[in-house]
Structure 1
Amino acid sequence: MENQRNIILAVVLTAAVLFGSQYLIEYFYPAPPPEATDATQADAVDSAASGVTPAPSADTGDILDAGTDTAAAPTVKPVTVDSALGTGQRVAIANPLVKGSINLVGGRIDDLTMTEHRETIDKGSDPVRLFGPEGTDAQYFAQFGWLGQGIDRPTSETVWSADGETLTPETPVTLSWTNATGQSFSIRYSIDENYLITATQSFTNSGNAPVTLQPISYVSRTSKTADVGTWIIRTGPIGVFDGAANFSWDYDDVSEAANKTAEPEGQVSWLGFSDIYWLSALIAGEGSEVEGRFVNTNGDLYRSDLLYEAQIVAPGATLETCTRLYAGAKNVELLDSYTEQGITLLDRAVDWGWFYWFEKPIFYLLKWLFDAVGNFGVAIILLVVIIRGLMFPIAQRQFASMAAMRAVQPKMKAIQEKYADDKTKMQQEVMKLYKEEKVNPLGGCLPIFLQIPIFFALYKVLLLTVEMRHQPFALWIKDLSAPDPLTPVNLFGLLPFEPVSFLAIGILPILLGITMWLQFKLNPAPTDPVQAQVFSIMPWVLMFVMAPFAAGLQLYWMVSNVLTIAQQKWFYSRHPALKEQMAKDAEEKARKKELEAAEK
């Protein structure tokens, strides 16, 4: 087997890993079918959207207003975020990473922007908005409350009182409300230096009779602003149930489930909604019996519910529940630190897939290099140098195997000519030749097999991690997680049109094609004419294939090709006989072409 065949194998396997692994995973390990939740309870929660308090039921009684009911709610033209934030009383939220506010009407967190992340690479771009008020195109908020029977409890229309004006890491804020019978409710909000908000719900029964209450928290969002998932990156409803991350549901699955409600089995650790870079997750209190579900409340509106076990609160007693809300960027190191602090598998909110055990070390190595040099493009180049350095001894063996294969080519040709009519005998004689000459035809495959997981890991890192989002390299490369934007098709932007995606071949993909062509030219030429034709066009085909991929991935492959070319040059200097043999083969090939042309 020649080196060229190894490269073909590399391309095929790389494509299989990139485009087939998740499909195979889902094929052999399909998601469990949606299960219907209790219809009475789900319908009761949904019906509260109209603002009308439903009649108490045997199961839930009066409930928390939670979203929009299809039958009861009229179609309302969305309001702008600015106008929605300009009405009513609010408590500001501020820490190093987020800015926003809590709406005292309903006590909900419906205004959060991430100060470190911009919508585009433009420095003047607005910060990324995660949460937006109800009724806007950016609707996305978290609310905390209670289900209960025979008690006047707070709803989404309740106006709360606050004991502070700004929620910061140093200054928690408590919202309080007392009903007509003197029973008091409160929600104490606190926030850390990052994206974690803690909501401590408290109810004190100052009445003369016991009260049954069920604490609830939920996140409501519109799917209009949701990232579209793929078979490589899963987005949408997400959670950890019985100690396992569950990506089984998407928005369509929830809409098509019985009663438009999906209720995964198992004890809930956390649940919420995931985009490629952002996460909202309700984290259940430790030691609590909790159920979780996802509900399609109306059209493009969805909700993730965290339902605690109903409890009887005796006169004079207090019921307290603590729920945490992660609302922010899926920073890998931050999620890992929260996981180490006891939030079960919060780090799996980043959809690493089955190969997380390999992808995360590549990420941390790349992150360490970035911290050292301050540029992700340079970090990627250094990553290539490190990987090629570690693989140098293996590459030496690969080249030695290629040289040995080249040396036995004349004998192989003789065998092929002698047993042209007997393929079985030919194979036997070829294997005998390999054994006698101590040649391993697969000796050159190992470096390729090692490169495939590294390549795939970098692909996932560039695609998934918010740390790579909008990271520049140099010159025209302003975002390594996006394709190379500069293409000669429109004269590098001088012509006023955007070429279609399959023609928008940037400079990096072109350099990738050229370096691959040079690399193939340094390899021994295939003896099979079909193989030769395939290798003559493969660099240019891959140039088109790689054009839509992240510039960081293109940079990695191009630099890897350059180092491979340098390695091959050095190896040829150590094995002059191989280079001379290649020259002889090229001359012989040229003579054959001349003879064929003369015969015609």
Structure 2
Amino acid sequence: MENQRNLILAIVLSALVLLGWTLLSDRFLPTANPPSTKVVDGKVVPLPQPEALPAAPTIRDRAVVIADTPRVRIETPRLAGSINLKGARIDDLVLSTYKETIAKDSKPVRLLSPGGAPDAYFTGFGWTGDGVTLPGPDTVWQASGDVLAPGKPVTLNWANGRGQRFQILLEVDPSYMFTVRQTVGNGGTGAIAVKPYALVSRVGHSKDPDSWTMHTGPIGTFNGSANYGINFKDLDEDPAGERFSTTGGWLGFGDKYWLTALIPDQRSTVDAGFRGGESQRYQADIASAATIIPAGKAVTTTTRFFAGAKEVALLDGYEKSLGISQLDKAIDWGWFYWFEKPIFYLLDWLFRMVGNFGVAIILLTCIVRGLMFPIAQKQFASMAAMRVVQPKMKALQEKYKDDKQRLQQEMLKLYQEEKVNPLAGCLPILLQIPIFYALYKVLMLTIEMRHQPFALWIKDLSAPDPLTPLNLFGLIDWAPPQFIAIGVLPILLGVTMYYQFKLNPQQMDPVQQQVFSIMPWIFMFIMAGYATGLVLYWCASNILTIAQQKWLYSRHPALKAAAPAAPK
């Protein structure tokens, strides 16, 4: 009866863990990218690219909208698109080196789209002011060239017919940074006052979830401090948004892997902020102070615009070379920023050395386990000592089972006499927590692992393992729900964890014994939806730990020997 009660209690506790994790993980610890492959007839094939939602009646096909206006092409090694000469907008941009899916015929990732097309997302530049005719969203600019490319700037010109000339000089580097110089020349008879601005406008929320561990949506750095506290729902509830007066910094919109950011002159003070509008329209904008331009003079304001992938080394490089305050914080590293970036750079270096991200993860696991080996030796020595004193502990528990305070005193005295520390075995586990969390963040947030293959059926380490026995490894044309679609690697995780627990000294408490026997299979379900790269790390860590335990058991035979009988 007692064993049945313990078993029932262990099952209930495990069920609570599993259900509670399911409810909380999407909010606090998002799992992986959506599956990018599936197994059909035993072969791994890419999933088709998701179709866009049906457009509203007022939304037109993107190609039609782009063809309606005069444009300047954008051609760089990593970007392709065009500048809309009507309104001076960069509103057509794809990332040439990144694909939507792992399929060979997949389209490149689209970042910007013109207004009036699905998922409108663009940047624009202009001026506000009183008593002067200014260019607006319907102004058609004249371009000095037909292609914007690295080393080939383009100047947009417009004159208001009253003596003022407006210029927007556009430059782009080989990666994702645009430099925009807005110039007003006053050829009139009197002084004018103008205020230059730049904006990023987008329609709709990010397709990536905004969670406790990964911020998506409005983002920026103001006066040296990164701000992750504003999201799309805040702007829905309060369209007035938030305004900041900042010297240096940047602002824009961030998705999981992509970023648009307006970067003012880092020495100037600007007004910046976010606004909301109807039908999920959002805007990030910056405006410089009003400038008085005397007759015969001209004033230039320089702004940079980043539009591309959040590559760690690239963001760090821009931050250093251009002096942009905390541009690297476009990636929501979180509390362990100081620890996660070294983990990333080590993993990225290993990847560049071996050319396979999965192998790099395994090598990282070996390095971590190697660094922790001295601690593991102390852990096993402590476990051996604890096993020797277990009979004495059990005798004390029997003797003082009705006097908890006295039992604690006698147990503490026993630890001191035998020179053992019951918490020593917890140290490796505690050290593993920040390492595992740091790796989780690195594998979840950094684009460097996106669509990276490993071997055999694993074609994307940032997505869940697609090979599951529930449909006979793809031989049955059925896609089980993600919660139960346990892949081969999560199953291997459960098996290795179970074997690892079996190697540990058995717990004295029957309930703990039951919980430890069930937990590996609980974690098998929990980890099924996580990035394959993270599960691979855990599996490799378990296998190394098992090998390490085997070797250390040979050094500490007391752990394998039968526990001595309790003193009478």
TM-score > 0.5, shorter chain as reference:
yes
1:368 aligns with 2:340: no
Q: How does 1:454-469 map to 2 (within 5 A)?
A: 454-469=435-450
The amino acid that maps onto 2:293 is: V
1:186 aligns with 2:167: yes
Find the aligned partners of 1:262 and 1:513 in 2 and give their Cα distance: 48
**Further displaced range: 358-367 or 265-274:** 265-274
From 213, 216, 233, the equivalent of 2:214 is 233
1:305 aligns with 2:285: yes
**2:511 match: secondary structure:** helix
Find the aligned partners of 1:566 and 1:287 in 2 and give their Cα distance: 57
Deviation by residue 1:182-225 (Cα, 9 ceiling, x = unmatched): 32111000011110000000010000011110101101111255
Residue 332 of structure 1 aligns with which residue? 312
Find the aligned partners of 2:409 and 2:286 in 1 and give their Cα distance: 67
Find the aligned partners of 1:416 and 1:153 in 2 and give their Cα distance: 86
The amino acid that maps onto 1:369 is: L
The amino acid that maps onto 2:91 is: D
Find the aligned partners of 2:28 and 2:544 in 1 and give their Cα distance: 33
Q: How does 1:369-408 map to 2 (within 5 A)?
A: 369-408=350-389
Deviation at 1:495, TM superposition (A): 2.0
From 285, 294, 302, the equivalent of 1:314 is 294
Deviation by residue 1:378-417 (Cα, 9 ceiling, x = unmatched): 0000000000001111100000000000011121122222
Find the aligned partners of 1:360 and 1:88 in 2 and give their Cα distance: 44
The amino acid that maps onto 2:305 is: L
1:497 aligns with 2:445: no
Q: How does 1:64-463 map to 2 (within 5 A)?
A: 77-224=58-205, 226-257=207-238, 259-264=239-244, 266-267=246-247, 269-341=249-321, 342-463=323-444
Deviation by residue 1:90-117 (Cα, 9 ceiling, x = unmatched): 1111111111111111111001111111
Find the aligned partners of 1:121 and 1:388 in 2 and give their Cα distance: 32
The question of whether the paired residues in 2 share the 8 Å contact of 1:203 and 1:318 is answered with: yes
Find the aligned partners of 2:474 and 2:192 in 1 and give their Cα distance: 69
The amino acid that maps onto 1:317 is: K
The question of whether the paired residues in 1 share the 8 Å contact of 2:246 and 2:269 is answered with: no
Deviation at 1:123, TM superposition (A): 2.1
The question of whether the paired residues in 1 share the 8 Å contact of 2:246 and 2:270 is answered with: no
Change in CA separation of 1:225 and 1:526 when aligned onto 2, cut-off 3 Å = closer
The question of whether the paired residues in 2 share the 8 Å contact of 1:268 and 1:291 is answered with: no
Identity of aligned residues (%): 57
Find the aligned partners of 1:535 and 1:370 in 2 and give their Cα distance: 35
The amino acid that maps onto 2:307 is: A
Deviation at 1:515, TM superposition (A): 0.2
Find the aligned partners of 1:428 and 1:297 in 2 and give their Cα distance: 66
1:482 aligns with 2:463: yes
**1:404 match: secondary structure:** helix
From 481, 498, 520, the equivalent of 1:517 is 498
Deviation at 1:88, TM superposition (A): 2.1
The amino acid that maps onto 1:155 is: G
From 434, 451, 470, the equivalent of 1:470 is 451
The question of whether the paired residues in 1 share the 8 Å contact of 2:234 and 2:241 is answered with: no
The amino acid that maps onto 1:331 is: E
The question of whether the paired residues in 2 share the 8 Å contact of 1:210 and 1:313 is answered with: yes
The TM-score normalised by the length of structure 2 is 0.88
Change in CA separation of 1:111 and 1:475 when aligned onto 2, cut-off 3 Å = same
Deviation by residue 1:106-149 (Cα, 9 ceiling, x = unmatched): 11100111111111111211000000111111211110110011
Find the aligned partners of 1:163 and 1:274 in 2 and give their Cα distance: 32
Deviation by residue 1:483-502 (Cα, 9 ceiling, x = unmatched): 11111112222222221121
Structure 1 segments, 4+ long, off by >3 Å, are 264-268
Find the aligned partners of 2:536 and 2:24 in 1 and give their Cα distance: 20
The amino acid that maps onto 1:545 is: I
Deviation at 1:268, TM superposition (A): 5.4
**2:408 match: secondary structure:** helix
Find the aligned partners of 1:483 and 1:120 in 2 and give their Cα distance: 14
The question of whether the paired residues in 2 share the 8 Å contact of 1:218 and 1:304 is answered with: yes
**2:316 match: secondary structure:** helix
The amino acid that maps onto 1:416 is: Q
Residue 35 of structure 2 aligns with which residue? none
**Further displaced range: 414-423 or 136-145:** 414-423
Deviation at 1:76, TM superposition (A): 5.7
**Further displaced range: 347-356 or 486-495:** 486-495
Deviation by residue 1:131-178 (Cα, 9 ceiling, x = unmatched): 011111121111011001122211111111111111111101111111
Find the aligned partners of 2:24 and 2:180 in 1 and give their Cα distance: 42
**Further displaced range: 372-381 or 496-505:** 496-505
**2:81 match: secondary structure:** strand
**1:100 match: secondary structure:** strand
**Further displaced range: 480-489 or 552-561:** 480-489
The question of whether the paired residues in 2 share the 8 Å contact of 1:81 and 1:138 is answered with: no
Q: How many residues align?
A: 520
**1:249 match: secondary structure:** coil
Find the aligned partners of 1:304 and 1:114 in 2 and give their Cα distance: 21
**2:214 match: secondary structure:** coil
1:542 aligns with 2:528: no
The question of whether the paired residues in 2 share the 8 Å contact of 1:220 and 1:301 is answered with: yes
Deviation by residue 1:51-107 (Cα, 9 ceiling, x = unmatched): xxxxxxxxxxxxxxxxxxxxxxxx861111111222222111111111111111111
Deviation at 1:576, TM superposition (A): 2.7
Find the aligned partners of 1:209 and 1:578 in 2 and give their Cα distance: 92
The amino acid that maps onto 1:307 is: A
1:564 aligns with 2:550: no
The question of whether the paired residues in 2 share the 8 Å contact of 1:502 and 1:548 is answered with: yes
Find the aligned partners of 1:88 and 1:578 in 2 and give their Cα distance: 78
